[in-house]
Structures are given as C-alpha cells and as structure tokens.
Amino acid sequence: MILPPATLGMLGGGQLGRFFVSAAHEMGYRVWVLDPDSHSPAGLIADRHLVAAYDDYAALDELAGACAGVTTEFENVPAATLDYLAKFLSVHPSASAVAVCQNRIAEKTFLADNGLPHGPFAVVRSEAEVRNAAPELFPAVLKVARFGYDGKGQARVANPDEALHAFHQFGGEACMLEKMLSLDCELSVVLARDEAGNVSCFDPSENRHRHGILDITIAPAGVASALIARAREVAGQIAEKLDYVGTLGVEFFVCGGALYVNEMAPRPHNSGHHTIDACVTSQYEQQVRALCGLPLGEPRAHSAAVMVNLLGELWYDGAHMGGTYREPDWSVLHAVPNLRLHLYAKHHARAGRKMGHFTVIGGDAEKTLAAALHGRAVIGIRDDER
C-alpha cells in the first residue's frame, strides 16, 4: 500500500493527467508528470514536470527514483516504457494490458479470442487484403490500427475502391475494416479494478458524438436495465481477462437492442468526467486508489449528470476557425444553475481540440439534460451535422 505523502508518477500531461494530479494532491500525494510538452495541462500543476520523451531513459530513471508508483493518462505511451519502469516500481495498468488497448488489431483479436461481443471486422495490412474484404462488411469504417482517436485516422467507405483509396491516404498502415453498424445509441462503462480483482463500476452513460468527437455524455443512461447489467458484466469481463489494475473505459455500440464493444481505453475516459461532480468517488480518485493499493471508493452517483465537451472552435469568432481568436463568454455558463465549468489550461485552441467541459447536475434527469443543452446553446455550440 502506497500512502501519503509518497510521490506518484504520471506518464502524459493532458487533461486526464491534470485531473489525476488534482485528485492525488487532495489525497495528500505528490505527483511528478513526464510529458514532452512544456505547456502540458498536468505538468502545470504537478510538483515536478519532467519535459522529456516517453523513451528518454535518463528521465525514466529519474522518475523511477522519485516515485512509489506510476500510471498513465493515455494509451499511446510505449509499452516498452511501462515494462522498463515496472522493473523498479509499481506500474498500473500493466504494459501488457495497455498494449492490447493501444492497437485496434490486438484489441479486436482480444475480444474475438475471449468470446466478447464485437462487430464484424477484417484486418487489412495490404492492398490485396483490402480488395479481398468480404462484401458483407460494406459499408464500413477503415481505422488505422495505431494512434487514431476522436475521429482521426478513420474513414467511412462504401465499397472496396473507397477502402483502397483511404488505405493509401493512411500511408498503407495496418488498419481495421469494421462493418458500419446501425446504432440505437452508444454507451460507455467506466470502472476501477484493484490488484485483488475487486471491481467498482460507475453507472453506464449514454454518449452522443459530433463530427466523430464526444459531444455530450448523459449519466445514467436511459436504456433498459438488462442492457445496463450486460454492459457492466462485459466491462468487468474485459478487466478480468486483461488482469487490469486501474481505471478502465469501455465504449459500446447498441444495435437492435444488442451490445457490441467498440473499444477500450486503459485510463480514465472522457465520458467519465461527470464523476468529478456527480459521484461519491471520481474516476480519477479511483485511479489513485488502484495504483496505491487503497480500497476502491464508492462509485455511487448522488445526482443525475450531463457533461458537454468544449472544443477549440469556441475560441474563434466565425465558422471553421476563420474568425478572431477570443476567450468565450463564460458568464453565460456560470448563470446556469448547477453547472460546473472545467477548463484545462491548454495553451492553444484548435479545431477539435478538447479545451474544457462543463457538467450540469440535478435530481431530475430530464431537467438536467434540458439545462445542459441550454448551456451548450448559449456558449455557441451549433446543432449541425453530428
């Protein structure tokens, strides 16, 4: 068990890392952050920020010498880095678990091998494999196996010719070709699992996307109780089969009343931001607890919640980032009752970049959603194509 005032290490300096640092500080820990960006949001509030690459072994040695345990806030930290650090101190989640989640081919193969629900897919590493893809896979989505997120590295394709064109645009990188499913809705489950195998699961939430990026999360999700139970069950099975320790996000597609795993995130998840304001224990405190060997906290929600992402476009007058850069008028959000605004201190706004979010909490789910949609409208988020 790692107890305060021990020092914890965080690989990655984004907003998820920033919330981890904040939660750890409140619990009495010190935190070092390793991130190559000198302006990283987590680095700005860390006790020390090592500005270095994730494969800088001198920096990793320094981190290992100062910290009692290390975790990560994004899945693209090299697995070799986690393996190296694990020689010296506690590292959660493990390199093996992260390696599955950071590669779409490994991820889908893991689901298939373990009998977990997933949509039809094909691995494509060559032009021939694109051309020979089963006709019933189309229309489909072609996704690069590594480093794609928030709609990046993805293309909708109606037929093999379009898939081949997209494959070339992706530089011939290994890809997943996934059948495009007809969605009822999208759900996510965020859970924490400790070294003893105990699982603490937050209520599943419903996610709505805009331009391939999460727009709104509604918690709890307004779907059938059987579907909620099944989502919890599958997420728990994933964590168990990965021997996962830490906070894990699992995204699901709901299609014709059936549940399919879309992807896993070996870290806290954007759709779990609301747990900061609406739950007894946040997903970030759970991450601290799992890393440090503390008993997991109570995940119970004390309020209904709706989270809305704030993207870089809001910092510009005019459409498509073509106007003058200015700070949004936050007063209109602060005027909304029970709204909590969280800004990430990122040094530059750009299209699609997550700059902050707000969460509205309340006792009535419908009124909470209405208030969040009002806040979304008054700050200037348009209801164009999702």
Residue 186 annotated as part of some ligand binding site: yes
Per-residue model confidence as pLDDT tens digits over 60-112: 999 999 999 999 998 888 889 999 999 999 999 999 999 999 999 999 999 99
Residue 285 annotated as part of some ligand binding site: no
Residue 104 annotated as part of some ligand binding site: yes
Residue among 82, 21, 74, 77 nearest 266 (CA): 74
Per-residue model confidence as pLDDT tens digits over 266-305: 999 999 999 999 999 999 999 999 999 999 999 999 999 9
Residue 178 annotated as part of some ligand binding site: yes
349-367 mean pLDDT: 95
- Which residue stretches of 76-224 are H helix? 79-85, 95-101, 104-113, 127-131, 160-169
| pLDDT given at position 383 | 79
Per-residue model confidence as pLDDT tens digits over 192-239: 999 999 999 999 999 999 988 999 999 999 999 999 999 999 999 999
- Rounded CA-CA distance 235/168 in Å is 35
| pLDDT given at position 151 | 57
Residue 363 annotated as part of some ligand binding site: no
Element housing 65 (H / E): helix 57-66
Write down the domain spans for the chain.
7-91, 120-179, 185-378
Residue 151 annotated as part of some ligand binding site: yes
Whether 262 has a pLDDT exceeding 90, the answer reads: yes
Whether 385 has a pLDDT exceeding 50, the answer reads: no
| pLDDT given at position 211 | 85
124-133 mean pLDDT: 92
Residue 179 annotated as part of some ligand binding site: yes
Residue 194 annotated as part of some ligand binding site: no
- Looking at CATH, the fold of the domain delimited by 120-179 is given as Dna Ligase; domain 1 (3.30.1490)
Residue 15 annotated as part of some ligand binding site: no
Residue 152 annotated as part of some ligand binding site: yes
What's the pTM value of the predicted model, to 2 decimals?
Answer: 0.94
Residue 75 annotated as part of some ligand binding site: no
5-19 mean pLDDT: 97
Q: Is the dihedral of CA 380, 311, 70, 198 positive or negative?
A: positive
Residue 150 annotated as part of some ligand binding site: yes
- Rounded CA-CA distance 169/152 in Å is 12
- Domain 185-378 classification at class level: alpha beta
Whether 386 has a pLDDT exceeding 70, the answer reads: no
pLDDT range class, residue 317, cuts 50, 70, 90? confident
Q: What is the DSSP letter of 181?
A: P
Other C-beta atoms lying within 10 Å of the C-beta of residue 87: 8
Task: Give me the DSSP letters along 153-164.
Answer: TEEEESSHHHHH
Q: Which two tokens stand for residue 62?
A: 């320094």
**Averaged pLDDT of the chain:** 94
The CA R_g of the chain, rounded to the nearest whole Å, is: 21
Residue 153 annotated as part of some ligand binding site: yes
Whether 255 has a pLDDT exceeding 60, the answer reads: yes
Whether 26 has a pLDDT exceeding 70, the answer reads: yes
Helix then strand then coil, % of the chain, to nearest 5:
35, 25, 40
Residue 356 annotated as part of some ligand binding site: no
149-160 mean pLDDT: 81
Task: Give me the DSSP letters along 222-252.
Answer: -S-HHHHHHHHHHHHHHHHHTT--EEEEEEE
* CATH no. of 7-91: 3.40.50.20
Q: Is the dihedral of CA 91, 97, 101, 103 positive or negative?
A: positive
